[in-house]
Amino acid sequence: DTGVSQNPRHKITKRGQNVTFRCDPISEHNRLYWYRQTLGQGPEFLTYFQNEAQLEKSRLLSDRFSAERPKGSFSTLEIQRTEQGDSAMYLCASSRGGSYNSPLHFGNGTRLTVT
């Protein structure tokens, strides 16, 4: 169990630029979740995959956000035309099946700063 890996750890970008984050889940986990966390708040759900299928998206996930998990393994989260309000920690988590049967394991996140 090597844990959930997220890259990069930090990203500073200028407003209007596109950014992409990567998440490598624990190898045998078929569910992968993306959350966003702002300072002083709990993680907020963005989207989740079961294998390669994206099963749910939050209303927080505007059309500037897109997530993929093409082969059911790693996932990418892309933000187009970044805005200052996108500055946050983006957390990825994985589990074997639904959380009731298998806890979510989180990575250490990617901290995005939009200047």
Interface size with another protein, residues (CB under 8 A) = 23
Asked if residues 30 and 51 have their Cβ atoms less than 8 Å apart, the reply is yes
Which residue number, 80 or 111, has a Cβ lying nearer to another protein? Answer: 111
* 52 sits near another protein (criterion: CB under 8 A): no
* 48 sits near another protein (criterion: CB under 8 A): yes
One of 24, 77, 107, 112 touching another protein (CB under 8 A): 107
- Report the half-sphere exposure of 113 (CA within 13 A, side-chain side): 5
Burial class (CB in 10 A: 0-12, 13-18, 19+), 40: exposed
Indicate the residue type of 2. Answer: T
* Contact stretch for another protein (CB under 8 A) within 11-19, 42-50, 63-71, 79-87: 42-50
* Contact stretch for another protein (CB under 8 A) within 13-21, 62-70, 74-82, 104-112: 104-112
Asked if residues 13 and 77 have their Cβ atoms less than 8 Å apart, the reply is no
* 4 sits near another protein (criterion: CB under 8 A): yes
Instruction: Compute how many other C-beta atoms are within 10 angstroms of the C-beta atom of residue 17.
Output: 13
Binding site for another protein (CB under 8 A): 4, 33, 40-45, 48, 55-56, 91, 93, 98-100, 103-109
